[in-house]
Amino acid sequence: MFLIVRPIRLACKAFVAESTPGQLALGFALGVLIGFVPKGNLLALVLGVILAGSRANLGIAAATILVVSFISPLLDPVSHQIGTWLLVHPSLNSVWTELYNTPVMPWTAFNNSVVLGSFIVGVVTLYPAYRLSKPVFEKYSARLTVWAKRFWLTRLLMGVEWANGMSQAD
């Protein structure tokens, strides 16, 4: 039984525990970015890979993506305006044409006004989200850990840890 529980416990720890406030904040910021961008295109997938490859906290990122994805349609008019302005701008036409003729790029759907606009909005809000969320995580991450231990699942996992530690001590 302990062989089954251990990987799960480690996975849970990796997702929600043992992260610095900086990692939590980075996860939050990337979650906001990915949450803004409409899914179903290569751009969202690439951002997800970037998220997975970074040291950001994946749990916070996943939760943020979920929440922001529900909110982002409300910002579609703004994203559409921004994206349309960029895509029709004469000075950028050559850039877009080059990108459009580059392999793989059409799959990113960058030529869609909402996709581009949301991406720009997400990139713009990336650093502010990080900077604003980091103090919050610094202040509340310890309390968050204490709060998490109130749940029987957390205690169960930690109880197993103690059992392991005791058996090894013997």
Partner 1 sequence: MRWTYVIPRLVIVALIWAFMAFGFDPLLRYSAIQSLQAVTGAKVDIASVRTGFFPPRFSIDRAAVASYRKPGVNMLQFDSMNFSLAGAPLLRKSYVVEEAAVTGVRFGTLRNDDGQLKGTLQSDAPETPSWLIQKLTEAGDDWLENFTEQAKGQLDPDTLESYRLGNQLYGKWDQRFTQMNGELEKKKQQAKSIRKKMEQARKAEPLQQVELYLQLAQQADVLMRETRSMRTQVQGIVPEVRHDFARLDQARKNDQQQVMQRIQLLKPDTRRITESLIGDQMYLQLHQILSWLQTARSYQEEFRKPAPPERQRGRDFEFSIFDPTPRMLCRKISISGELMVGSMPTPFEAVLTDVTSDPQLLGKPALLRATTVGESPFELIVQHDATKKITQTDLAAEYTDSAEQQLSAGTPDGDCLTARLSNMQWVARLTLVENQVQGQITVSSDFGSPEFRVKNELAAGLAGVVQQTLTGIHRMNASIRLDGPMLKPDVSVTSDLGEQVATGFETAYEEYLPQLQSLLVDKVSGYVEEQRQQLAMTFGGRHEQLLADNTRVLEGLGQIRQLAAALRSGKADPKAVFQTVSESGVLSTKDQQKADEVIQKTNKVLDGLDDPARAFQRALPGLRKKLFR
Note the residues at the interface with partner 1 (CB under 8 A): 7, 10-11, 13-15, 18, 38, 52-53, 55, 58, 73, 76, 79-80, 83-84, 87-88, 93, 96-97, 100-101, 103-104, 106-107, 109, 111-115, 117
In sign, the C-alpha dihedral spanning 155, 156, 158, 163 is positive
| Min separation Cβ 29 and partner 1, Å | 18
**Residue 8 to residue 24: CA distance in whole angstroms:** 21
> Is the separation of the CB atoms in 130 and 28 below 8 Å?
yes
> Is the separation of the CB atoms in 41 and 51 below 8 Å?
no
Name the residue nearer to partner 1 (CB basis): 104 or 166.
104
For residue 49, what is the enclosing H or E element? Answer: helix 42-53
| Min separation Cβ 170 and partner 1, Å | 25
Name the residue nearer to partner 1 (CB basis): 21 or 117.
117
Name the residue nearer to partner 1 (CB basis): 168 or 170.
168
| Min separation Cβ 77 and partner 1, Å | 10
38 φ, ψ (degrees, to nearest 5)? -60, 140
Name the residue nearer to partner 1 (CB basis): 40 or 135.
40
| Min separation Cβ 141 and partner 1, Å | 15
| Min separation Cβ 118 and partner 1, Å | 9
**Residue 116 to residue 78: CA distance in whole angstroms:** 11
> Residue 60: which of 26, 34, 33 has the closest Cα?
26
Name the residue nearer to partner 1 (CB basis): 109 or 129.
109
